[in-house]
């Protein structure tokens, strides 16, 4: 799903009856949040049901759909979402439609029990996959041709599978990261702040991206320090001393837990904070540069353009904000 920031990625969703509302939201809401943060439509989506009727979720809240799933030669990624009783929807017609559309789709994703439908249609044969932990053993026994992996989500070439609602949120953050970079994925994650741990009586809000769920306590402390020192960034050596490890060890721990080097995370925090000021206020760019810890407006502008592929003034112009 890699693409240029300037392009819009369309996604089709096939939602089966009895799907949990939170599962649908776990796919759509990160995409909506990415659009909001970016200031333009990075993602669009269309929701289908097998018969074109609104989906009655398990919570009783219906989800409107664009119509019945009747694909032609669409190439957009297709996400198949299901929570309960997927077998009732696995008609010969639907399996045939999935087999046909798979010839053209760049990606097919089985979200939670949607993985069962893909496997039943032989679309996971010789791929690695996962599913909800309650069904893992039964799934492995039913489809020995699928290599089962105990992960929250699995991306194996043109096939994607997830093990539940929060793992699906993890997946969407990872797809956003791959397509649009760590900074945007981090900001989407911080918008949800769904990973929290209590330390010394304070609520430490630690965003999670991709498969990263459990932070080393020292990495967690470093992340918290970074968030508190955006205006006056600490050097890696000072940061490491504050959390009680060497700079090299902190780099290794950070890379293992977060998937990026400390300076990348720090810069993403600072630039995301600056971007919010660019979009939401009329502050002078020099003042924004200062509160984001940059020595000058020129260094801020260079970093901003490198990350967002436009200057701060271009962002404001594009969003029609008056300075």
H or E segment to which residue 241 belongs: helix 236-243
Domain check: are 111 and 224 in the same one? no
Q: Is residue 157 part of a domain?
A: yes
Pick from 5, 23, 60, 53: which is nearest to 183 by CA?
A: 5
Domain check: are 148 and 288 in the same one? no
Give pLDDT tens digits along the chain (323 positions). Answer: 444 345 789 999 999 999 999 999 999 999 999 998 888 899 999 999 999 999 988 888 999 999 999 999 999 999 999 999 999 999 999 999 999 999 999 999 999 999 999 999 999 999 999 999 889 999 999 999 999 999 999 999 999 999 999 899 999 999 999 999 888 998 898 887 644 443 333 333 444 554 444 467 888 889 889 988 989 999 999 999 999 999 999 999 998 888 889 999 999 999 998 998 898 888 999 999 999 999 999 999 999 999 888 899 998 888 874 44
Domain check: are 81 and 157 in the same one? yes
Given 155, 180, 205, the domain boundary residue is: 180
Given 180, 203, 227, the domain boundary residue is: 180
- Cβ burial of 25 (10 Å; 0-12, 13-18, 19+) is middle
Q: Is residue 202 part of a domain?
A: no
Domain check: are 29 and 156 in the same one? yes
Do residues 108 and 158 touch, judged by C-beta distance below 8 A? yes
How many domains is the chain partitioned into structurally?
Answer: 2
Domain check: are 68 and 111 in the same one? yes
CATH number at residue 308: 1.10.10.60
Which residue segment(s) compose the domain that 274 sits in? 215-323
Distance separating alpha carbons of residues 300 and 297, to the nearest angstrom: 5
Domain check: are 225 and 162 in the same one? no
CATH number at residue 42: 3.40.50.880
Domain check: are 20 and 163 in the same one? yes
Do residues 285 and 300 touch, judged by C-beta distance below 8 A? yes
Strand partners, 154: 161
Domain check: are 35 and 151 in the same one? yes
Strand partners, 15: 81
Strand partners, 160: 109, 155
Distance separating alpha carbons of residues 296 and 275, to the nearest angstrom: 16
Distances (CA, A) of 305 to 26, 300, 310: 30, 9, 5
Domain check: are 37 and 164 in the same one? yes
Is beta strand 153-156 parallel, antiparallel or unpaired with respect to 159-162? Answer: antiparallel
């Amino acid at each position: 799903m890699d693409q240029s920031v300037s392009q819009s990625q369309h996604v089709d969703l096939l939602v089966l009856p009895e799907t949990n509302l939170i599962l649908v939201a776990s796919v759509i809401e990160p995409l909506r949040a990415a659009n909001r943060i970016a200031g333009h439509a990075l993602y669009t989506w269309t929701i289908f049901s097998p018969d074109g009727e609104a989906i009655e979720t398990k919570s009783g809240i219906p989800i409107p759909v664009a119509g019945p799933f009747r694909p032609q030669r669409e190439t957009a990624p297709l996400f198949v979402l299901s929570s309960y009783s997927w077998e009732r929807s696995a008609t010969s017609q639907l399996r045939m439609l999935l087999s046909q559309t798979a010839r053209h789709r760049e990606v097919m994703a089985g979200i939670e029990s949607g993985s069962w439908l893909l496997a039943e249609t032989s679309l996971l044969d010789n791929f690695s996959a996962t599913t909800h932990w309650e069904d893992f053993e039964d799934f492995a026994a039913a489809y020995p041709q699928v290599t089962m992996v105990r992960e929250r989500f699995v991306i194996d070439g043109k096939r994607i599978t997830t093990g539940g609602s929060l793992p699906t949120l993890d997946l969407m953050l990872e797809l956003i990261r791959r397509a649009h970079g760590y900074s945007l994925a981090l900001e989407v994650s911080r918008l949800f702040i769904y990973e929290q741990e209590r330390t010394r009586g304070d609520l430490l809000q630690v965003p999670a991206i991709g498969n990263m769920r459990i932070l080393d306590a020292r990495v967690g402390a470093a992340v918290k320090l970074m968030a508190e020192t955006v205006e006056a960034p600490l050097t890696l050596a000072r940061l490491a001393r504050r959390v009680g490890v060497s700079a090299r060890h902190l780099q290794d721990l950070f890379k293992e837990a977060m998937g990026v080097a400390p300076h990348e995370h720090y810069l993403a925090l600072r630039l995301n904070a600056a971007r919010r000021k660019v979009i939401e206020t009329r502050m002078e760019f020099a003042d924004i540069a200062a509160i984001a810890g940059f020595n000058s407006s020129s260094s801020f502008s260079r970093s901003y353009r490198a990350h967002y592929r436009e200057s701060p003034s271009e962002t404001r112009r594009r969003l029609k904000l008056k300075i």
